[in-house]
Structures are given as structure tokens and as C-alpha cells.
Structure 1
Amino acid sequence: MLLTSSRPTAPAWAEMVPSQIARDALEQRGWSVFPLDAGKRPFPLGTYYPDGTPKRLGWKIHQTRCASLKEIQYWERRYAPQLWAVITGKISRLVVLDFDGEAGQETRDRLGLSPHVQTGSGGAHVYLEHPGWPVPTLNSKSKRELGARWPGLDIRADGGYAAFCGESESGPYLWLRDPQLDPLDCLPEELRAFLNLLQPPVSASTARGQEVTSAASTTRIAASTLLERALKHIHEQGNGRNDTGFWLVCQLRDNGYTANEAEGVMSQYVEHTPKTNTKGIVEPYTIDEALASLGSAYGSEAREPWTPLEGVQSASSGQRGGGRGNGSRTTVTGTATPEEPEEPKPLPEILINNSQLRERTDQAIDAIMRQERRNPSLFMQSSRMVRVSRDEMRRPIIAQMGVTEVKEVLTQTANYYRLRKVAGEEGAYEKVPISPPKELAEQTLARQTQAPYLPFPPLAAIVETPVIRPDESILDMPGYDSITALYYAPAPGMKVCKVPLHPTHQEREAALALLWDTIGEFPYVSEADKANALGLLLTPILRPAIARHVPLALIDAPKQGTGKGLLSDVVSVIATGTSAAILTMSDSEEELQKAITSLLLEGSTIITIDNITGRLQSKHLDGVLTSTTWKGRILGQSKMTKVPHRATWLATGNNIKLGGDLARRCYRIRLDAKVARPFMRKDFKHEDLLSWVTENRAELVGALLTLARAWFAAGKPRYVHLPALGTFSGWVTMVGGILEYAGVSGFLSNLEQLYQEADEISAQWESFLRTWHDLFDGEWITIKKIVTHLSDDDDPEPEGSAGSCEHLSLFESLPETLQTAFKEKPQSFRIRLGRALEKWVDACFGEENFRLERKMNAHQKTGEWRVMRGVAGVVTVESTQNSEKDITYI
């Protein structure tokens, strides 16, 4: 049975996926949330009690404390829950009324209540304010009486939970209105009294006294003592880092430390653990491993903590966790949890001499996927098997997998054996461990481009900061995101960004003030340059949501030391946590193409062309700025490859000159301190700006996301005065819209000035064609005649000759590149000039529209040229029998 109530306006939660709703409920509403399986029960842990009952993830601890965001992220990675519950009662400050079946709907209609949620079975939940005193769960007798007086009604209060988003076996939970809690006085007093919602029960004080006392209320062991003991057992007894780390977080939990406090202790633990594992192999213990243990420990109820007389169980004992053993204080292990996490399953076994190669390859890939489903690290990019890895600076990169790398993956995901006959025993065989065969790795790589294809998901790029998805949600959970095909690898110190779903005017103004506090002191030439700088800060955050292309940001100044490099570093540090990848311009277009390809293959999301000298011009740069998939040659190889392109491009230099078509692919941020030594300026608010940005990076990213969310929440208003930039229009609409809605004006209003200053070639050709038109007045002439005039200009005049200012002006107006060619290579100049003229046939220059036209002389097989002003007429071609190769430049 479905609800019949109307839905005038869909609430924000109706447009979000379950994990986003759960996180928003925690961060914005302060609700205690918990994951459920499709049967609306806590997830099984894979272990069992003696009676065969499966152990499940503990949820009662969350009646007294909300799960941390780290715990939620751990649950998402571990269980991928499609259903979430809210812990009802005092912890979440809410009570849920559950109306089930037709009888429940009739009761709800009679009470005049509007449902917040339609349940999976078609019922309804109404969310009420919690009264502040304990609201006990009804016993069976009270439930029968409730059902008799108010049919189909049940209550979820203290000691209970209610599924509130996602999908169960019965169907999806749909939010019908925003989660604003209804006041208790919306219920009749009779019902409120029956549900203990009218006044505190007589036993309220007793109930308060009987609340479970947390470990924090007892004398607890200092965190430093627990940390010291854990490290001692690693260094002195050789215990495993992961097992000891799990013991440590359990002790922190059992001694009453909050999850946030425990996270700080675990950061110190990670810093002081050895860089090698128990086998002596260099393999640093990471913060992600520590947080996984923290999420597992804090997902279960606290137990009696360890005391200084107890010890950490030796890793060699083969046990983990446990409780008090046989009453002996000297042999007991550290406290774990009553619901222990699932022990690692043994690796699958693959026999290499009893099957075909294709079958063994299938088995090997299945073994790899067994681990990849839990925590994806292998992907497909441009028909290549790649892995998200780290460079020597611990920065995330995309590394291509070769035979050696694939063999390592095979080694870590399965045990390989061959069968060997047992001597003296007829028909008896034994398994002999072996290394994964090389041919298995080769066959795996062969499936990169042929069926049956590799099952790994596609990877577009790595991002190191939360970004906006195309659906306007925020990608902020570390790991792979299937919606965007991005891998979020936050840099160390990148804390959780708190971004309101519907930012208020005050929140938007506070975010904008923080951003101006960061970049507002740069010496911008105009308000347009300042607005463009803020647009550049927004671009990496918005890049995944922008469907097509993003232009190159030119950070330009008249002198060194003005702050160009600092501004580009600020942009990169906010977006990635470190300086950008540097692209060095090369005189060789082939080398430049390979360099661009290498940076994109590594997953670079911010690329800077630094300290440009001379003219910035490249057909490959033109191409990459207007491509979503870049095709280029791999550095050190002759092979071509395709790679997704989602990078943000910057260029810095002094008085940058642009060539070719690059000007219309750029926007400019011009700085000018107007002093002789700009690098000696001081008295800035943040003297060490980069250090300040690094320390406040999470807040800055949150501010950028807040501005973006404000525009999205307002319905993405469009502003018609923003310029149209072809394939960059999506970027203009989004970035310009966010800035305008935030009250920042002037975005891209300096484009015309950039075009005028950058387009020197057009200006030179306008001057040349103007002079040509004044000299020949629309007459059809050959290139030979033009060259004769130019030669006369270049020859010394006879003595007493009056000269010809017209001839002289023609040579002076010749574009610079042609002047150089005329002087240095006069023998081939006719061909060079002819090719240059062909390039600009029918192109208009200047406000007077000077236009170069060409026709063929069928008899002499030569081309003739003329320049017209204004709207040119249609040229009749005398003969169509001659192809381009028949033209002779004479």
C-alpha cells in the first residue's frame, strides 16, 4: 500500500544517495546513525556464538555517542550499506511514530499528521521532537493496548532505532518532506500521555540513575600510558603493528576516550611505528589502516579495560583480543570487543598444472577481485591496467602495471602450487608452493584490450581534495568513486570539510571573507583580475562537474617578484596539498607532446607552465585545452596512447605574449605592484601565506564548496551578461554563476583587452592588407608583383630619386615573420609568401573587414590575389580544372 499524501516539493534528501543522507544527518542534524543490511538488521561479522547465532555489528553504543565521520566512512568501505538507521531517543533528540498498513494510514489521517518518510513496505514514519526525559519502549501489553486504541501505530524511542534512508528487502525509504521535527503538541494529550510524551514518568529519576555508566566516568588510564605500552610491545617483543594498533584503539574505547580523541592517539602511533613489517620488509603502517581498526573497535560496545598488571597478547600466540581468561591477571590478553571483526580469510589456492591457461587466468583474476571489491586499487585507464600508487614524496600517482607489477599482485592475492608425485606411493601427489608464472601475468595484461576484458573499473583521475560531482553532490569519502570514476586520496592533514547543504547568506558571506583573506592582498590590476583569481580557485573543485573544457589561466605581471608564482602555488596547495606539476615548454613539439602525455598519465590535476619567456604558442597546447581525451606519444616509447584529461591549467610569466589560437583558450589574472622592487614588499596579513594556507586548507576547501553549494541550492541562476566562450561555456556558466551569486562581479570582463593585446598576428596582417589595398585598390595581382614591390623597398634608392612612400610602407607593414624570411631566405620567399596568403584566404581583419581573395588564372596556371574592404563580393573562378598543385608562384 502506497501513501496517498501529496508531495508539493521534493526535499533535499530525496535527491541524495543513502550514504550522503546518513552523513548529512550526522553532520547537520546531529543524529546518531548506523548501517543496516537489507533485512533491517546490523551487519553480520562472519563469526558466531556457541549456539550458532551470528555475531553482528554492535549498535547500542551509539545510544550514548554518535558515530564519527571516520566510522561512517569505514562502514561504507566495509559493508557498502544500502540502508541506514537513526538511533531514536535522547541521543538524536527525536521520536519516530510508525504507521503501518491501511489501519496505520487511517490512524495517521485521523490524527492529521503529515508523513516525513514512506517506508519500504509502504507505511509512514512521522518524526517528533524528543521531550528530554526517557521515553521507554512499550512492553507487549502496552503495545496491544496501543494497537487497540490507535490501530497500526508503533513508536521508536529510547533504546530503539528506525530505518530512515536507503532500500530494504521490502522497498525504498522515500523522504516526502524536509526532516524538520514536528512538535509534541501536534498529538492529542491522550496519546501523548499513553506514549510517555506528556510529562516525565514517576520513575524518571530512577531511570536516570540506572543509565549505563560509561567508562569515561571511571578512573581511566592515560592515553600516553596506553600508547607507550603498545609501542613497547612492537619494539621489544616484535608484535604486529596492526594487531597492536587494534588493541590500542580497543583500550582507548574501553577507557572512555571519544573516537576523535582516539584518532589523535592513533596518529601518534602511526608516526612512531617501525617502517618495516614483522618479516623485515619495508612497508609503512598507514593512517588508513589505523582508522580502519578505530572504526571496527568503536563500532562495538565497550568492555572492561586493561589494567597495568595485564599484558598485550603476543602476536605469535595466534590469538587476537579476548576478555578475562580463567581469572588470571598475569596471562589475560588486551580487551577487544564482544563482536570481534572478521578474521582475514585464507588466500585461494590455484594449481598451475591441472588446467588450461585461460582457466588459471580466470582464477587469478577472480582472486584479485576478491580483494579489490573491499578496497579498489586497480583500474583501467586508456585500455591500460593501472594502480593508484605513491611517488617518493608519498603523493598519489597513477602507475601503469607491467608484468612485474602484475606478478606482485598475483602473489598477494592467491597461493600458487603445482602437483608433484610422491615417491614410492602410486597415484599420490603433493602440493608444492611456487611463484605465480610469468605467463599468467602476461595473459592478464593481454586482456587489457581483448575479450574477456579485465573487470577493473575505469579511472579518470586522482583528486586530493573534496570536489563537486556532476549531480552537484560532494565527493568527500576517500577511495574510489564510481559516479565520477575519480579516486579521492586526501593529503595528510586534510580534515573533514563541513559544508552546509543549503548555505545561508551569513555562511556564504563568511566563506567569501575567508577566501578574500587568502588571496585578497595580491596586487590585481582590475576587479576583473581579482574575480578571475577567485574563479581559478574554484575551478579544480568544480572540474569533475564541468562537462567539457576549462581554459588556461594566465597569471601575468610586468616584473618578477610580483606574486605570480605564489598565487599559482596557493591554488595548487588548496587543490592538492602541494605544488603543481610543472610543464616546461620545449622548442620540440614532439617532446612537448610527450611531456603533456606523461603528466596526464600520472593523474596530475593541476599543471603549471612556469616562468614563460618569449611567445607562448603550441599546437599541442591548443589541442589539450580543448580535449576531454588526450592522445599522445608516451615518453621514451614510440607507442601512442589515449588518456582522460580533467586537469586545470595555469601559466605564469612576465608580459606573456600569446601566439596561434591560444588567446581564445585563455583568461588572464594581471598583477602589478607598481613599484621598482615588488619582491621587497611587506606588511602582509599572512607573511608566510603558503604555510597559512597549508594549515587552513580544509577550511578553505570548505569555503569554496560552500559558495558552490549556495549557487546549486538557489537553482543555479544564469547570468546573461557572462561571455560565451564556445566549448568553455559550461565552465563560464558554472564558475561565473557561483561568483555572481556570491556578489563577486567582473568575472572575465577583461577578455577583450587580452584578445587585443595578445593577437599581434592579426594586427600585423590588418596593417599589411590595409597598405596592400591602398596601394593596389582591389586590383588582381600576382605574388611576383608583390615581391617586386618588396624588393624595390629593400634596394637603395638612386640618387635624386623622390622615392615611393607607398612601396616603403608596404615592406614596413609586412608581418614580422615574413620580413625575416624575406631577408634571410630571399630565394624561397615567393613560396613562403604564397603559403602564408593561402592560410588567410577569405579571413577578415580589423573593423573595416579587410579581406584577402584569390582566383586562378587558367591560362598561365598562376594564382592572383586582391584585397577588398568591407563586405567582399563573390569571386568567380575562371577554371576549375586546376588543382592546388598546379599553382605556380611567379
Structure 2
Amino acid sequence: MVDVIATIHTGCGASVMTEGRDDEEWRKRMTAKLRQIPSLVLIDNLRAELDSAALAAALTAPFWEDRILGVSEMARLPIRCTWVATGNNPTSSHEIARRLVRIRLDARTDQPWRRDGFRHPDLMAWVRANRARLVAACLTLCRAWIAAGRPRAEVSIGSYEAWSATMSGILAVARVPSFLGNLEELMAASDTEGGAWRAFIQIWWDRFGTVEVTTSDLIGHAVRAEPALPISARDEQGQKIRLGRGLSKLRDRAFRVGGRLVHLRQGSLAHGAQRWKLQPAPQDGHDRSSPSSPDTAPAGRISIGETISSPHSPRNDWSESHGKPRAGEKGEEGEDISTPHTHAYARAHTLTGRAGISSPSSPFSPALRESWVAGGEDMRAADPHPPHPPLPPSWLEDVP
């Protein structure tokens, strides 16, 4: 198919190059190839993940600058070519995936080279014999778009706005639907790195919510995430370092989590350890960390003297742990907030099992001692001495 496109476009086959082993080799090969001023460049038979900073830059830049091998001279080369890559279910990095448009071929057989019964058994010979007709057909589609007033459909790709607007308009006039309709499928199939991070962010949100956490709290979930994150290392410390670097690259990026848009933010420093947090977008509806909620407090903060007790623990009385750091307090040492209920506890203001029971040193006001709260609702008016313990708050129902 690539040879057919190249033959119609230029009258000869495609200019072929293979993938590089590293970014340095990618750069050298691209410089040598672009010095020929090709109309189409084919990266044939991809086997490894397509990931190159040099290639990503060339796919969006109008010019390419690099040093010519063997001499101290820089070359400035125009990039006017069409880039095509082929492979069997190839994958790519996040930066490359957003620059791709996929053309998927399904032969529906395990040995496609043995097929027969084609309309044109020798396709390349037919294309060369009918190239004039095929070029005229392509120009007719373009001329029809111009005659229609050059309409532009509302389909666009960042960094390729002019191309996508022109191509979508030509196809719309020709009544060819679904231009770029497979972008979501492409990202899901090709961008394995981005898919892994999105899945991990979902786990993070489910476990910790908006609480500030360190890589030590996240590493257990990160190494078990599916698909796997790119944090492989010899030991756990190396995995933590790679996870921290990955989070630094993703800082302030937005992720869609269960219909909610959250941002990965850099948190505070605690004993030299960088903390991270997920922050819901303000325009994305109710914020889980909003202090205006009657039964929640700002994420990661607990007032001095405040005590909390789990409704699932054997003891439902108020309890205090003087000297033991609580999740979310600043400056604590040896924190352990990797439990499923951490984000729930850190947002609780008051939660008790029986009305009017607290520790002798509890600093709460008498009004708080006389009340008990279930799901953010004050039950004093209903019954000052309820016969049964209250139900867990509503925000705890989805916590595993």
C-alpha cells in the first residue's frame, strides 16, 4: 500500500529507512535521509516501540538542523515529506502517538502472502500503467473542494491544524465520513505508556483521593499496576526513583478519572521527600476536598486535637493517639498512609460510634461531645441516645 501511494505521488517507490537503536542513531539517519529532500519517507517493519525525541520533533517542525558527520558544519534542511511507518501491531510513546494517524489492515488470514483472487493480481503494474488516471482522480477531489468554497470540517489535531482542516474538508465534499474517527482507538492501542499512567492514576484516586502521598506510599500499587508502568529497576529503591521521575514529567497534567477531571500536582516536602497529590478541576463539579461539605475537611488536614475512629474497627468509641502521627499532618515521620481508608479518614471531621463518648483529654466543645454524626447529618434532634451505632458516611461506601 505504501508503494502504491508513493508511486501515485512521485512515480516511483518509497524512500525506505529502518528504525534506530537509540535517539542518537535516529538523529543521524534522519539527517542523512532529509538531505535527499524526499517526498515520502517510509520507516519499515517496526519491531520495537516507536519512541524518539528527534523523530517527534521532525514530525512537527518545518526545518531540521543537525551537524553533518565528519565536518564542523550545521545543515538546515526543509521537511516537506510525508512520514509513513509500518509494523505488526506497533506501539509508540505518548509523544509519538499523538502525531499518528492509523491505517489498519486486516487480511483475515494467518498467511496473507498466499492470498489470490484480487481484482488486480499485479497491483503495482496496474498502478504504474494507470498513474495518470489516478492522479487526475486525486486532483478532481481537490478541485471539487475548492469549487465548494473550501469548507473545513470541525476535526483537528494539535500541530496539524491546516492539514486536518484541509483533508477533512476534501473528504466531506466527497462524502467520505469518519475522518479521524479512530483517534481514541489509536491512542488506546498505540500509546501503551499513556494507558499505563491513566490506569495507575485511577488506582491512586480510588485509594488515596486528594491526600498528599510520597512515592513510598504509591510504589506498592505502581509495581502491580496493569498495564505495567515504565519503572523497572533492580530493586525497590530504583523503582521509587523511576516513579518519582515519571511523576515529575507528568506534573500538572490532567487525567479523566471516572467522569472527573483531576490534575497531578506537586505537594509539599516532608523530611526531604517530595509529596504528590491529585487535585480535582474546579469546574468539574463537587470537589472531594471542598471544606464547605458538612462531613468532610480539606484533604490531608486534620485539626489539632481532632480524633477519628474507623466505623469498621472493633471499637467505636472516640480514641486519641497522642504522639502518633496521623495521616495528612505536616512534618510527620514514618507515616504509613497506604491503607484503602486513608483518603477517607483524612477528610473526616468528626466520626464516632456512640453519642457523648470521648476521651478525657478530648479538646472538643460540649456541643461536639453531645452530638454524633453519620453521613454528615447531625442526629441530636432525632435521638440524643441512639440505640444502634450510626451508619458509615456516604463517602465511605465506595471505599473497598
TM-score range relative to shorter protein: 0.5 to 0.7
- 2:157 equivalent in structure 1: 725
- 2:84 equivalent in structure 1: 650
Aligned pairs for 1:488-887 within 5 A: 567-637=1-71, 639-720=73-154, 723-787=155-219, 790=220, 811-813=223-225, 816-821=228-233, 824-847=234-257, 848-857=260-269, 860-869=271-280, 871=282
- More contact order relative to length (CA 8 Å, sep ≥ 6): 2
Q: Deviations over 1:44-102 (max 9, x none)?
A: xxxxxxxxxxxxxxxxxxxxxxxxxxxxxxxxxxxxxxxxxxxxxxxxxxxxxxxxxxx
C-alpha separation in 2, matches of 1:814 and 1:733 = 37
The 8 Å contact of residues 615 and 657 in structure 1, kept in 2 or not, is answered as yes
C-alpha separation in 2, matches of 1:625 and 1:650 = 11
The 8 Å contact of residues 616 and 658 in structure 1, kept in 2 or not, is answered as yes
- Residue 810 of structure 1 deviates from its aligned partner by 5.2
Q: Deviations over 1:90-115 (max 9, x none)?
A: xxxxxxxxxxxxxxxxxxxxxxxxxx
- 1:343 equivalent in structure 2: none
Aligned pairs for 1:132-211 within 5 A: none
- Residue 629 of structure 1 deviates from its aligned partner by 1.0
Aligned pairs for 1:411-426 within 5 A: none
C-alpha separation in 2, matches of 1:766 and 1:841 = 13
Q: Deviations over 1:548-588 (max 9, x none)?
A: xxxxxxxxxxxxxxxxxxx0000111112221111211112
The 8 Å contact of residues 231 and 239 in structure 2, kept in 1 or not, is answered as no
- Residue 637 of structure 1 deviates from its aligned partner by 4.4
Task: Give the structure with higher Rg (CA).
Answer: 1
Structure 2 CA distance for partners of 1:711 and 1:870, relative to 1, 3 Å? closer
The 8 Å contact of residues 766 and 850 in structure 1, kept in 2 or not, is answered as no
- Residue 841 of structure 1 deviates from its aligned partner by 1.7
Structure 2 CA distance for partners of 1:786 and 1:676, relative to 1, 3 Å? closer
The 8 Å contact of residues 213 and 277 in structure 2, kept in 1 or not, is answered as yes
- Residue 861 of structure 1 deviates from its aligned partner by 3.9
C-alpha separation in 1, matches of 2:148 and 2:232 = 57
- Tell me which protein shows more helix as a share of its residues: 1
C-alpha separation in 2, matches of 1:834 and 1:810 = 11
- 1:12 equivalent in structure 2: none
Structure 2 CA distance for partners of 1:748 and 1:781, relative to 1, 3 Å? closer
In structure 2, give the amino acid aligned to 1:756.
A
- Residue 663 of structure 1 deviates from its aligned partner by 1.6
The 8 Å contact of residues 20 and 26 in structure 2, kept in 1 or not, is answered as yes
Structure 2 CA distance for partners of 1:866 and 1:737, relative to 1, 3 Å? closer
Q: Deviations over 1:381-423 (max 9, x none)?
A: xxxxxxxxxxxxxxxxxxxxxxxxxxxxxxxxxxxxxxxxxxx
The 8 Å contact of residues 597 and 632 in structure 1, kept in 2 or not, is answered as yes
The 8 Å contact of residues 22 and 52 in structure 2, kept in 1 or not, is answered as no
- Residue 666 of structure 1 deviates from its aligned partner by 1.2
Structure 2 CA distance for partners of 1:780 and 1:579, relative to 1, 3 Å? same
In structure 1, give the amino acid aligned to 2:246.
A
C-alpha separation in 1, matches of 2:82 and 2:247 = 36
Structure 2 CA distance for partners of 1:572 and 1:622, relative to 1, 3 Å? same
- Residue 654 of structure 1 deviates from its aligned partner by 1.0
Structure 2 CA distance for partners of 1:719 and 1:850, relative to 1, 3 Å? closer
Q: Percent identity?
A: 36
Structure 2 CA distance for partners of 1:828 and 1:610, relative to 1, 3 Å? same
C-alpha separation in 2, matches of 1:771 and 1:743 = 43
Number of paired residues? 286
In structure 2, give the amino acid aligned to 1:854.
Q
The 8 Å contact of residues 98 and 187 in structure 2, kept in 1 or not, is answered as yes
Secondary structure of the corresponding residue to residue 667 of structure 1: coil
Structure 2 CA distance for partners of 1:697 and 1:833, relative to 1, 3 Å? same
C-alpha separation in 2, matches of 1:773 and 1:711 = 48
- Residue 742 of structure 1 deviates from its aligned partner by 2.2
- Residue 868 of structure 1 deviates from its aligned partner by 4.2
Structure 2 CA distance for partners of 1:610 and 1:818, relative to 1, 3 Å? closer
In structure 1, give the amino acid aligned to 2:38.
S
Q: CA RMSD in A?
A: 2.7
The 8 Å contact of residues 611 and 653 in structure 1, kept in 2 or not, is answered as yes
Secondary structure of the corresponding residue to residue 242 of structure 2: helix
- Residue 825 of structure 1 deviates from its aligned partner by 4.2
In structure 1, give the amino acid aligned to 2:57.
G
C-alpha separation in 2, matches of 1:726 and 1:675 = 36
C-alpha separation in 1, matches of 2:203 and 2:145 = 52
C-alpha separation in 2, matches of 1:693 and 1:636 = 41
C-alpha separation in 2, matches of 1:836 and 1:856 = 17
- 1:429 equivalent in structure 2: none
Structure 2 CA distance for partners of 1:582 and 1:637, relative to 1, 3 Å? farther
- Residue 781 of structure 1 deviates from its aligned partner by 2.7
TM-score of the superposition, structure 2-length normalised? 0.65
- 1:44 equivalent in structure 2: none
In structure 2, give the amino acid aligned to 1:761.
E
Q: Deviations over 1:626-674 (max 9, x none)?
A: 0111122334445432111110111111112121311221111111121
Aligned pairs for 1:304-343 within 5 A: none
TM-score of the superposition, structure 1-length normalised? 0.30
- Residue 817 of structure 1 deviates from its aligned partner by 4.4
The 8 Å contact of residues 773 and 867 in structure 1, kept in 2 or not, is answered as yes
The 8 Å contact of residues 198 and 255 in structure 2, kept in 1 or not, is answered as yes
Secondary structure of the corresponding residue to residue 224 of structure 2: helix
Secondary structure of the corresponding residue to residue 278 of structure 2: strand
C-alpha separation in 2, matches of 1:717 and 1:777 = 46
Aligned pairs for 1:108-119 within 5 A: none
- Residue 755 of structure 1 deviates from its aligned partner by 1.9
Structure 2 CA distance for partners of 1:711 and 1:620, relative to 1, 3 Å? same
The 8 Å contact of residues 773 and 868 in structure 1, kept in 2 or not, is answered as no
Structure 2 CA distance for partners of 1:784 and 1:670, relative to 1, 3 Å? closer
Secondary structure of the corresponding residue to residue 276 of structure 2: strand
- Residue 760 of structure 1 deviates from its aligned partner by 2.3
The 8 Å contact of residues 266 and 275 in structure 2, kept in 1 or not, is answered as yes
